[in-house]
Amino acid sequence: MSTVVIVGTQWGDEGKGMVVDLFSEKADLLVRFQGGNNAGHTVVVGDDTTILHHIPSGILHDDVLCVIGNGVVIDPEVLIGEIGQVKSKGKFQSDRQLAISNRAHIIMPWHKAIDQAAENAKGEKKIGTTGRGIGPAYRSKMSRTGLRFGDFLDEKNFPDYVQDNIGEFNCLLKNFYDAPELEPDEIIETYRGYARKLKPYAADTFRLVNDAVRARKNVLFEGAQGTMLDIDHGTYPYVTSSNTVAGAVCTGAGVGPRSVDKVYGVLKAYTTRVGAGPFPTELHDEIGDRIGERGHEFGATTGRKRRCGWLDLAAVKYAARLNDLTHLIVTKVDVLDGLDKIKMAVAYEIDGRVTDIVPADIEEYARAKPIYETLAGWTESTSGMTSWDELPPELRAYLARIAEVLGLPVAVASVGPGRAQTIVLHPPF
Ligand code: GDP
Ligand code: IMO
Ligand code: MG
C-alpha cells in the first residue's frame, strides 16, 4: 500500500503514459495533477494504441478511479472527444471511473487564439508551444479571472462570465495581434453543450484523493511534461506554464508533502525535446536521425518531429534532486540496439567551469558543452527480452552506470512500447 508519483525527468515524452498504464494494474486511484492537453501520453495494449491528452493513462484498467486534479487546465471539447474515443474501445464503461475536480480550470477559445497569435508574433523567438492555450489559461487562473470547472457547470452564470471576459481578449486579438475576434454567443451556445456532457464527472476530488491516501490505498500521481519544462526550474522561458516537478502533487491534487511515499522518475535512454530552447546533447548527425527514426520521435500531440540527442545525465541528476526521486525508470533502451558506441553526458563545461547543475541563465545554459562518457553498445535486438539476465551485458552495464551516476536504483527498464516489454525490478506496489 503506497502513494507513488511518476514524473518525467527530461523534456517530456519519456514514456510516462506507458509506465502509468503498467503500474495502474495494481492501483486503486490515479491522479493527473498539472498541465493540460499539451500532454500526449501513449498507451499500447497489443495492437491497439491510445493517445491520452487529458484522461489519466490508467483508464484502460477497469478498476482504477481516474482523477483530473485541481492543478489541471481542461479543454472541454478535447476531453469529450477523448472520453468518446476510449469508450468506443469498450473501456471506461462506467462514468464513475472518472472524477474531475470542480477546481480545475477551463481552457477557453480565447486562450487558444491568444496562444497561437502570440507564437506567430514572436517569429524567431517563438517557444514552439503546442498551441493548445495552456499558457494563457494558467495566466487567467493566476490573474484570478479564470473559469473553474465547477463554475463552468453553472448554466446561469456562464453567459455572464463569457460576456465579462471576452472583451479583453478580443481587444488584444484585434488591436495587438491583428487576428480575428471571437463571437460570444457562439461560445456560450457550444460550451453550454460541453458543460452538460461533462457534468456527470464533477467531483470534490480533494475528498476522494485524501480519503484514498489516508486509507493507505495504492495511489498513483501522473505527471505531465518533464522536469526541464517546469515553469520555475526548467529552461525558462522555453518551458510550459505549470510546475511539472513532484512537489506539484501537493498543490495540484490537494495533498500534503507527507502523503508521498515514492517518486519514480522516467528517463529515456537518450534525450528528446519538442519546441525551442537549449538542448546540450542534441545531435545533428546520422546517429540523431537514426534515434529519431527507430524511436518514432514525432510528437504525440502535435505530430512535430522531436529533436534527438544522447542521454543527458547532468539534466537528469538535476531532476533527481528537484523531485527527490527514489527510483528510476529507463525507457526505450531498444532504440539504442545496434549502436557501436553509446555516449552519456555526466556533467557540463560552461565557460571553462565543470558543473552538473543546470544554470538559471538560459544563455549560459546554451553555452553548456556536455562532458561525455562513452560506453560499449550491443548488437542484439532487445525488444523481445523479458528479464534482466537476458539483457546484453553491455546494456546491463549501461543501466548500472546510469544508476551509479544518479545514486538511485533502476526500477524498470523498457524494451518496447507494450505492457509485456518491461523488465520490472522494483514494482511500486
Ligand atoms: P509520455 O508523454 O511521457 O507519455 O510519452 P509519449 O507517449 O509522448 O512518447 C513515448 C513514445 O515511446 C510512445 O510512442 C510510446 O509508445 C513509446 N514507448 C514507450 N516505451 C517504449 C520503449 O521502451 N521502447 C519503444 N521503442 N517505444 C516506447
Ligand atoms: P508530455 O506530457 C513534450 C513543450 C512544447 C513547448 C513547451 C511549451 O506528453 O510529456 P505549451 O503548449 O505547454 O505552452 O508548450 O513545452 N511541451 C511538451 N513537450 N511533451 C509534452 O508533454 C509537452 N507539453 C508541452 O513543445 O516546447
Ligand atoms: Mg508525450
- Nearest partner of 58 among 31, 36, 87, judged by Cα: 31
Residue 113 parent element (H or E) = helix 109-122
Q: How confident is the model at residue 159 (pLDDT cuts 50, 70, 90)?
A: very high
Beta strands in 29-118, from DSSP E residues, in sequence order: 29-32, 41-45, 48-52, 65-68, 73-74, 98-101, 105-106
The catalytic residue positions are 13, 41
What does the pLDDT read at residue 1?
77
C-alpha distances (whole Å) from 264 to each of 29, 56, 120, 193, 223 are: 17, 17, 37, 39, 10
Is the pLDDT reported for residue 69 higher than 80? yes
- State yes or no: pLDDT of 301 exceeds 90: no
Helix (H, G, I), strand (E, B) or coil at 65: strand
For the CA of 37, the nearest ligand = 2
CA angle 37, 40, 44 (to 5 degrees): 140
Q: pLDDT digits over 398-425, tens only?
A: 999 999 999 999 999 999 999 999 999 9
List Cα–Cα distances, 319 to 78, 402, 408, in angstroms. Answer: 30, 14, 12
- CA of 6 from ligand 2 middle (Å) equals 17
Our measurement of the distance from residue 385's CA atom to the centroid of its chain's CA atoms, rounded to an integer in Å, reads: 27
Residues with CB under 6 A from ligand 2: 8, 11-13, 38-41, 127-130, 132, 134-135, 224-226, 229, 240-241, 274-275, 300
CA-nearest residue for atom 20, ligand 2, is 12
CB atoms < 10 A from the CB of 165, how many? 17
Beta strands in 200-316 (DSSP E): 202-203, 219-222, 262-268, 271-273, 307-309, 311-312
Which of the ligands is closest to the CA of residue 226? 2
> Which pLDDT score, from 0 to 100, does residue 300 have?
75
Q: Cα separation of 96 and 379, whole Å?
A: 48
Check pocket membership of 277 for ligand 1, CB cut-off 6 A: no
Q: Do residues 279 and 309 make contact, with C-beta atoms less than 8 angstroms apart?
A: yes
Atom number in ligand 1 closest to CA 14: 3
Mean pLDDT of 27-35: 98
Question: Mean pLDDT over residues 309-334, rounded?
Answer: 98
Provide Rg for the chain, Cα atoms. 21
Q: Are 74 and 252 in contact (CB under 8 A)?
A: no
Per-residue pLDDT reduced to its tens digit, 352-391: 999 999 999 999 999 999 999 999 999 999 999 999 999 9
How far apart, in whole angstroms, are the C-alpha atoms of residue 16 and residue 412? 12
| Residue 43 Cβ < 6 Å to ligand 1 | no
Q: What is the pTM of this model?
A: 0.97
Res. 302: pLDDT tops 90: no
Q: What is the mean pLDDT of the chain?
A: 97
Substitution site in 244, 328, 331, 415 for ligand 1 pocket (most atoms within 8 Å of beta carbon) = 331
Residues with CB under 5 A from ligand 3 (ion): 13, 40, 300
Q: Which pLDDT band holds residue 50 (cuts at 50, 70, 90)?
A: very high
CB 197 within 8 A of CB 80: yes
Q: For residue 85, what is its C-alpha cell?
A: 474515443
Residue 97 has pLDDT above 80, yes or no: yes
